[in-house]
Amino acid sequence: MHSADRDLQALLDSYTSTGRERGLQLAVYKDGKLVVDLSSGIANVETGEKVTSHTLFPVFSVSKGIAATIVHRLVARGLLAYDEPLATWWPEFGCLGKEEITLADVLSHSAGMQNIPAGTKWADLADWSGMCRKLAESSPIFPPGTAVEYHAITYGWLVGEPACRVTGCDFPALLRREILEPLGLSELFIGNDQPWTLPISLLEEEGGSVDVPDPETPRSIPVWLLPLASLMNDPDAQRACMPASSGLATARAIARHYAALLPGGVDGVRLLDDEALNRVVTRHPPRLAPDVESGFGLGYHVETITGSTGGKIRSFGHGGHGGSKGFADIESGLAISLTKNKLSADPHAQEIIDGVRSLLG
């Protein structure tokens, strides 16, 4: 084990051995090569099963970045266009104030379609066609491009349905074709109708159901889905195809996806070229009003960090509820993913990421 591996393993173990975290995976690619692939702690507190590098973790919104990459690849081939209305490919969507909502509006969370439609139940979320129909029959909360509100769950259908319509594929098939097969991945799922062959981590989250005076009011995350750990421990939810929130993956698979977006790619595979990558990681897409605050590019959260030598590094990717992360730092050639099963707002994940950047950046 190299010194960086030893240091990072000790860091992971320091969290899991003290109970601050239960189970962790950390994977890092550097210039297209896997340089860190570590695990620590317990995958399932009920059985005592330990985390390995093959354990699948429900990663919630980390899957948004995966979905975005699929869309970007279709744009690069001319099948979709960022500035075209969704109704171009999804005609029945173009009504009730949604006529001008573009693909870029959805990718930048400025479409005004963040709320799950009233009357939706859990069974509806697993019905792709039904949810697309509900969204097509809904009105935006605000005019597109005038505000940014996180589309926590609706994002998946809003970016996924146009992709499915122009290709004739369902979303799991698109995932296989655009990402899994080119990269030789078998540890990343958004929807699965086959028997699981890998262990799945059990999520833990403090808190129970949420008591609010108006539980039927449409929200981006309905109160009846809370706590989200219970949702994604449910076998039906793990199999459901909700590209905004239902991904299951290993840290290694997520990091490989991001490494393949960087210059040089992975094993000869590059998912986007430089021009396409530069466009999608530009913060504050032009459609947004100048006074609207945004941390998003097109489908990814983007930021500029200061490298160890003082230079500026563009970073892009997506985190998930409870702390899982997947992202890439362009100028340093790092692609990093952390998965975890004890969901919290504690800064542990960022502390681990900072440790990676310090050692390898």
- 294 given a catalytic annotation: no
Q: What is the pLDDT of residue 291?
A: 81
Say if CB 28 and CB 361 are below 8 A apart: no
**Residues 251/338, Cβ–Cβ less than 8 Å:** yes
Write down the pLDDT at residue 32.
97
Tokens matching residue 190: 């958004």
Confidence category of residue 224, pLDDT binned at 50, 70, 90? confident
CB 25 within 8 A of CB 38: yes
Instruction: Give the CA count within 13 Å in the CB-facing half-sphere of 217.
Output: 6
User: Mean pLDDT throughout 224-229?
Assistant: 90
pLDDT in tens, 137-147: 999 999 998 99
pLDDT at residue 44 greater than cutoff 80: yes
pLDDT band for position 214 (cuts 50, 70, 90) = low
Q: Where residue 302 falls among pLDDT bands split at 50, 70, 90?
A: very high
Q: Please state the rounded mean pLDDT for residues 184-201.
A: 97
Cis peptide leading into residue 199 (ω within 30°): no
Of 326, 338, 152, the residue nearest 242 (C-alpha): 152
Does the pLDDT of residue 207 top 90, yes or no?
no
- H helices present in 168-244, as ranges: 171-175, 181-183, 228-233, 235-239
State the average pLDDT for the chain.
94
More confident: 157 or 290: 157
Proportion of the chain in helix, strand, coil states, percent, rounded to 5: 35, 20, 45
**103-119, pLDDT tens digit by residue?**
999 999 999 999 999 99
**Residue ranges with strand state E in 45-137:** 49-50, 57-60
> What is the reported pLDDT for 215?
62
**What are 23's strand-pairing partners?**
41
Predicted local distance difference test score (pLDDT) of residue 306: 85
- Contacts by 212-217, CB closer than 8 A, 24 or more apart: 216/118, 217/118
Domains, the chain, ranges and CATH? 3-30+56-360 (3.40.710.10)
**DSSP secondary structure string for all residues of 311-353:** -EEEEEEEE-TTS-EEEEETTTTEEEEEEESEE---THHHHHH
What local confidence, expressed as pLDDT, does residue 213 receive? 57
Which among 39, 61, 63, 201 is annotated as catalytic? 61
Instruction: Confirm if 119 and 129 have CB atoms less than 8 A apart.
Output: no
pLDDT band at residue 217 using 50, 70 and 90 as cut-offs: confident
pLDDT tens-digit series, residues 238-286:
999 999 999 999 999 999 999 999 999 999 999 999 999 999 998 877 6
**Nearest to residue 336, comparing CAs of 305, 311, 312, 310?**
305
In the predicted model, what is the mean pLDDT of residues 175-181? 98
The proportion of the chain whose per-residue pLDDT surpasses 70, expressed as a percent, equals 97
pLDDT tens digits along 344-357: 888 889 999 999 99
* Average pLDDT of the segment spanning 2-25: 93
The answer, yes or no, to whether residue 62 has pLDDT greater than 70, is yes
Of 101, 342, 114, which Cα lies nearest the Cα of 220?
114
pLDDT at 1 over 70: no
